[in-house]
Amino acid sequence: MWRVARSAASTFRRTRRLSTAISAPCIVHKRGADILHDPWFNKDTGFPMTERDRLGLRGLLPPRVISFEQQYDRFMESFRSLEKNTEGQPDSVVSLAKWRILNRLHDRNETLYYRVLIDNIKDFAPIIYTPTVGLVCQNYSGLFRRPRGMYFSAKDKGEMMSMIFNWPSTQVDMIVLTDGSRILGLGDLGVQGIGIPIGKLDMYVAAAGINPQRVLPVMLDVGTNNQKLLEDPLYLGLRQPRLEGEEYLSIVDEFVEAVHARWPKAVVQFEDFQAKWAFETLDRYRKKFCMFNDDIQGTAGVALAGLLGTVRAQGRPLTDFANQKIVVVGAGSAGLGVLKMALQAVSRMTGPSADPHFFLLDKNGLITKDRKDIDPAALPFAKAHHEIEGLGLQEGAGLAEVVKKVKPHVLLGLSGVGGIFHEEVLRAMKESDSVRPAIFAMSNPTNNAECCPVDAFKLAGEDIVFASGSPFANVDLGNGKIGHVNQANNMYLFPGIGLGALLSGARNISDTMLEAAAECLASYMSDDEINRGILYPSIDDIRDITAEVGAAVLRAAVAEDLAEGHGDVGVRELQHMSKEETIEHVRQNMWYPVYGPLVHE
Ligand SMILES: NC(=O)C1=CN([C@@H]2O[C@H](COP(=O)(O)OP(=O)(O)OC[C@H]3O[C@@H](n4cnc5c(N)ncnc54)[C@H](O)[C@@H]3O)[C@@H](O)[C@H]2O)C=CC1
Ligand SMILES: CC(=O)C(=O)O
Ligand SMILES: [Mg+2]
């Protein structure tokens, strides 16, 4: 461990466990300036003299060696002065300035970057992840300086098997893949959507301790239907409409085959695909290799954990979940994913004849069996005439009418439409049949949230439980009470799902593994927290919750006989681990950023 001369102002956290602090020597195949220009190995002025000698760095750096802690403090000081200097400027200017300073560090020195990210995750997640990542994607072609990740375009057909070998890392464990067709609630951003896989993988490194040398953000550029981008002279993607049908699928197939030829055990997360391709690709690949769709499956688990927390917050037994009236607004990949998992949970509680009280709306209002050309995925949740006639509802009923007549326990938005939980809707939630109504405004980024928490607490009442997809500050209710704002975001699950799948060596990711993840998150919170309306852990604890979720997923894979082991830990060894041993095993396998010795080969 390096020597730590702590300055009073330092926010640097000492390494918690010696085991993670002592890192094995890392073999580099580069020397001199090539190392300084490689963010995986670069330590900037932190290279000790012995390494400068060994690696041909003498003379390429100023003579004084600066410690990791000093570098850390220097960066944080620059960050804080940037905050001060941009005070009063528009939010978007400040957010992009913060993103730029972090991105420059990411480009230069990954060890330092991930250390500041981990130690300041609460402040930095909103920059590298939602909401700022959305703004970054919208402006990506203008912000682009250096490439990150890989780009496979429709023009690369037939070439992908060789292209995959252009990636410099010999081992890849985790891939996040998008086609840019539905980036957060911002629509089709084409190639600019690469910001999302980058942000998600930053969360993988920070939360799950995936080694940053083993992550790969990927953009599948099959064109865009965003006219503004097609006309933008700086747009960096293919200037053509999106491929459709078999042409589209053949590109995804080719990419998937190439990846698995090179890294057969890599876990692939599909992210921000428009609903039709999200469902189709999940069906197509989920039994063939280790992949999942975060928007459908990760979101579902986080929402279910929050919904179960809501039942606890009402002082009801968990089995009462089966009686909750839940209005879901948005029948896309996320909304349908949530309802499917919620239905599975109700079925486990009440048996296969479960009859949950779910109401689903899309842009055309309440979905009923009378809907023409109904999406088959929405059919199980479409209301039959007899189920709603007593309420005076019919096909296509608007949101305010549905909320007034149903008096739901929970109103959950995954519509991507900012502000649709307007005053009339929120006031109607005050008449909910629940003593503790819940409002989940889960759409991202901030401006796309269905409502803001201030309005929710003001109009729906102080007793509500509130969650949003992007971060908002808690609400001062003005009477000494605080309205707690939860962040119902799939970031609480996807890192653990990926990590558990990876360390188990699972052949694929089953519903049981996903349920284990959701249950783990749901049971993480104490009764006291739940009573205070706190449904999810603080993001400061994201590494801890991810270790637990990872272990739960790993154990489920082992129990289901899907595990094949990982590295030198075989299935037998995994089978013999207790729950606590599994959690410790997962923790021990989490990468932590320290400057390890570099040895040239
Ligand atoms: N908090 C979280 O962890 C997550 C949040 N999301 C957010 O959920 C949103 C939706 O994502 P997807 O389901 O993948 O999108 P999608 O495009 O597949 O679905 C959107 C749905 O909203 C419906 N909709 C549109 N306008 C509406 C209106 N005025 N009233 C009622 N429904 C309306 C559409 O008909 C469609 O069914 C996005 O903003 C995304 O950022 C998605 C995944 C995770
Ligand atoms: C959080 C997330 O995955 C989304 O908004 O799409
Ligand atoms: Mg997403």
In Å, the largest CA–CA distance within the chain is: 82
Which one of 271, 442, 448, 536 would you pick to mutate in the ligand 2 pocket, going by the greatest count of ligand atoms within 8 A of its CB?
271
Which ligand approaches the C-alpha of residue 332 most closely? 1
Q: Which residue, chain included where needed, has tokens 């595990």? A: 563
- What dihedral angle (degrees, nearest 10) is formed by the CA atoms of 76, 80, 83, 84? -160
Run of H or E residues at 482: strand 482-483
pLDDT in the model for residue 20: 44
Q: What is the pLDDT of residues 505-527, one digit of tens each?
A: 999 999 999 999 999 999 999 99
Percent of the chain's residues with pLDDT above 90 = 94
Q: State the pLDDT confidence band at 16, using cuts at 50, 70 and 90.
A: very low
Distance 189 CA to ligand 2 centre (A): 14
Q: In ligand 2, which atom is closest to the CA atom of 295? A: 3
C-beta 272 within 6 A of ligand 2: yes
User: What 8-state DSSP symbol labels residue 192?
Assistant: G
Is 295 annotated as contributing to ligand binding?
yes
Q: What SS3 class is residue 513?
A: helix
Q: CA dist 576 to 6, 508, 547, 558, Å? A: 42, 21, 18, 10
The angle that helices 110-119 and 121-128 make with each other, rounded to 10 degrees, is 120
Q: In ligand 1, which atom is closest to the CA atom of 274? A: 18
Inform me whether the pLDDT recorded for 280 exceeds 90: yes
Inform me whether the pLDDT recorded for 18 exceeds 70: no
Q: State the pLDDT confidence band at 9, using cuts at 50, 70 and 90.
A: very low
pTM (whole model) above 0.90? yes
3-state secondary structure 192-232: HHHHHHHHHHHHHHHHHCCCHHHEEEEEEECCCCCHHHHHC
Strand partners, 153: 221
C-beta 434 within 6 A of ligand 1: no
Q: What is the pLDDT of residues 558-576, one digit of tens each?
A: 999 999 999 999 999 999 9
pLDDT in the model for residue 3: 30
Inform me whether the pLDDT recorded for 5 exceeds 90: no
C-beta 490 within 6 A of ligand 2: yes
User: Tokens in use for 57?
Assistant: 């760095």
Q: Is 363 part of the annotated catalytic residue set?
A: no
Which ligand approaches the C-alpha of residue 416 most closely? 1
C-beta 417 within 6 A of ligand 1: yes
Cβ-based neighbours of 144, under 8 Å, separated by 6 or more: 236
Q: Is 200 part of the annotated catalytic residue set?
A: yes
Radius of gyration over alpha carbons of the chain, in Å?
A: 24
Q: What is the pLDDT of residues 231-277, one digit of tens each?
A: 999 999 999 999 999 999 999 999 999 999 999 999 999 999 999 99
Inform me whether the pLDDT recorded for 207 exceeds 60: yes
Give the residue-averaged pLDDT of 429-445: 97
575-595: burial string, b at 16+ Cβ within 10 Å, e else: eebeeeebbebbbebbbbbeb
Inform me whether the pLDDT recorded for 530 exceeds 50: yes
User: Tokens in use for 144?
Assistant: 């682009």
Inform me whether the pLDDT recorded for 117 exceeds 70: yes
Q: What is the pLDDT of residues 315-327, one digit of tens each?
A: 999 999 999 999 9
Distance 131 CA to ligand 2 centre (A): 10
pLDDT in the model for residue 67: 97
Distance 267 CA to ligand 3 centre (A): 16
The phi, psi pair for 37, rounded to 5°, reads -95, 10
Which one of 182, 186, 272, 293 would you pick to mutate in the ligand 2 pocket, going by the greatest count of ligand atoms within 8 A of its CB?
272
User: What 8-state DSSP symbol labels residue 383?
Assistant: B
User: Tokens in use for 156?
Assistant: 């690369």
C-beta 294 within 6 A of ligand 2: yes
CA 415 to chain centre: 18
Q: In ligand 1, which atom is closest to the CA atom of 417? A: 26
Which ligand approaches the C-alpha of residue 444 most closely? 1
Q: CA dist 308 to 99, 305, 449, Å? A: 35, 5, 22
The residue whose CA is least distant from atom 5 of ligand 2 is 184
Distance 41 CA to ligand 3 centre (A): 30
* Beta pairing, strands 365-366 & 357-362: antiparallel
Q: What is the mean pLDDT of the chain?
A: 95
Distance CA 398, CA 437 (A): 20
Catalytic residue among 200, 265, 383, 404: 200
Strand partners, 361: 329, 366
